[in-house]
Structure 1
């Protein structure tokens, strides 16, 4: 199994999770992070580090977030690896608690 970044990350892109990842499996897009399922070793250290609560084990995904399994796999092949904390997006705290952000995902 792998871990998955879900909708809560969109428009936030906190990168606290990146610093603790031992295998550099995170990839960064304009306003979202994804986890490469081929690189993730399922260590779970990133889960507690995410201020938005956006990372879940694949088997524990909240209802309605299942499509992010495929999105993480797809976008991790397109976006560059991120291996250190770059800070959150400027208005991340304003978006952190909002839902229904899928349409705002920038590829």
Structure 2
């Protein structure tokens, strides 16, 4: 396991991509922020008319899997994927700070109730 810390300490620096000059073109020099998912809940849903809006690809429709992720800072993020696909997409507006980690179940249940529309 690799220990992950929220902030850099004395004499520490942000990780950077070494790059493969003969391989991948356009490798990013900054690897980005690392977030640790402390807990998560998943449920298969069927998007209703209009689908589910995501930040990355816009509207997704049909049979989806909804995942509610709680990070180590107490923030929940909602993500969806096409059922059995590899890619996850952030639900637009689907991020909030929870008062307590125990609230994850309630938030996930509400998200399922809002987004799951098997009857259309």
Q: Normalising by structure 1, report the TM-score.
A: 0.24
The structure that is strand-richer by fraction is 2
Q: Normalising by structure 2, report the TM-score.
A: 0.23
Which structure's CA Rg is the greater one? 2
